[in-house]
Structures are given as C-alpha cells and as structure tokens.
Amino acid sequence: MDTETKEILWKQFGGTIDMLESAIVVCPDHFWVKNNFWYAVYHAIFYLDYYSSKEPDSFVPPEPFTLSEFDPTGILPERVYSKEEIIRIS
C-alpha cells in the first residue's frame, strides 16, 4: 500500500475515533446509563484496542477494565463505566 493511501486511511480512522469521543462527551448522563450507551461505546473501544494491539494473544486492557468482553455468555462488565474512564482509553 502506498504512503498516500495509508495517510488517507489513517486520517479517516482518526476522524472516526474523534467522532466517537465527541458522541461520548455530548451524550446526556441519563441516556449514558438508561439505554446502555456506555456499553456500546465500551465494547467498540475495547475491541478497537484489542484488534490494534501488536500481540493480541497477550492483550490486557488498562485498569479498571477487565477481559469480560471475551466471556462467551455475553455478560456485561460488573459496573457501568463513566464517560471519563472510557475517554481515557480512547
């Protein structure tokens, strides 16, 4: 892949991450919890981090996050993560 194409893709990817952060910031607090928006955002960022890691077999998310996303039963994390916690890893 040529350098120009890589640069274009990186800018689009970075723009998408920036838009997700903006959605987190402007999300009303009641919607964050009531409609499980927090979990949709957390799930997206968790897997973004996982799939972009250099060694996925030894992936460990930063604290306070856990590997609960890998549970095949689909359990949610033990608690609701705050906007600030999720923005810190995004």
pLDDT per residue as tens digits for the range 30-64: 999 998 999 999 999 999 999 999 998 999 999 99
In Å, what is the CA distance from 1 to each residue of 5, 12, 38, 63, 64? 7, 16, 36, 35, 37
Q: Record the pTM.
A: 0.83
Q: Where are the domains of the chain?
A: 3-89
Please give the average per-residue pLDDT across 4-18, as a whole number.
92
pLDDT at 21: 95
